[in-house]
Amino acid sequence: MGESRQKRLIALLSGPDRRGIVAELSGWIYRHGGNIIHADQHRDREEGIFFQRIEWDGGSEDLHAEAGAFQAHASTLGMRVRVALPDHDPVFAILVSRYPHCFHDLVQRWRTNEFQCRLACVISNHETVRPDCEHYGLPFHYVPVSAENRDEAESRQIEILRAVKPDFVVMARYMQVLSENFLGRLGVPVINIHHSFLPAFVGGKPYHQAHSRGVKLIGATAHYATAVLDDGPIIHQDVVRVSHRHGVRDLIRKGRDLEKIVLSQAVAWQLEHRILVYGRKTVVFD
């Protein structure tokens, strides 16, 4: 990390829209010796909400104090704000079941430093990826899940995750619905990949559902997990064309490529602090 990167702060802000917010925030950074590298903003005209992402080189030796002072100033403007500091390496964990394509894609991107973070562990309700985790040198935890032991299994998963303190968790085709209790106790964002263009074809076997409807486009959707199946705020989506000549196996093959790309992009945006959630929506900054 270069000297400039070592001083880089990133703020995500949201709050009631009013005149002068951009000037107030940029002026504060200027007055405190900072240098803005990139700034982007969005206004929801219907809701009257202002959103901004500001990336700047800090102007003080104590970046923690500068971040705290910036948050305090933004709060006086009615803004909700969080600031990412350069001395914190993000940590994430993976949940995966039997289909390993998204798991392998994420791990390879992490191993080649495409993701600037630490991958803490992998949790699965199947043994499928255990040999791969051993090959990659990743801690693997097998936690079987059934209707009878769901509460116990989730408690064990929470215990594992709390030990590694992730900033977020990725469901890389983890084929279980996380309970409201689990998500509340975990307390960090969970990114899921669903193998359809939501809100179409929620639930199981979406490629079979799509084939039976004769669709001409199939998609993949990365979204934040909620207790309601496939209903969380959408982060990223993409589609590919199909035709009457494509069977279910073709749709699955094409869809798996989409799933990897869409999920990895969502993870990259999470790591780069580009996503703000409000209600059932997201703002994803360029």
| Residue 26 exposed, middle or buried by CB count within 10 Å (0-12, 13-18, 19+) | middle
Spatial separation of the C-alpha atoms in residues 169 and 161, rounded to whole Å: 9
Spatial separation of the C-alpha atoms in residues 201 and 275, rounded to whole Å: 25
- Please tell me which residue in 230, 238, 250, 257 is annotated as part of the active site: 230
Strand 217-224 and strand 190-194: pairing? antiparallel
Nearest CA to 188 out of 178, 196, 198 is that of: 178
**Residue 48 and residue 21 in contact, taking contact as beta carbons nearer than 8 Å:** no
Task: For residue 262, give the H/E element and its range.
Answer: helix 248-271
* 94 DSSP assignment: E
| Residue 205 exposed, middle or buried by CB count within 10 Å (0-12, 13-18, 19+) | middle
Is 167 one of the catalytic residues?
A: no
How far is the CA of 70 from the CAs of 74, 82, 150, 193, in angstroms?
6, 10, 43, 34
Strand 80-84 and strand 49-57: pairing? unpaired
For residue 18, the tally of other CB atoms under 10 A from its CB is 11
**Which residues are part of the catalytic machinery?**
230
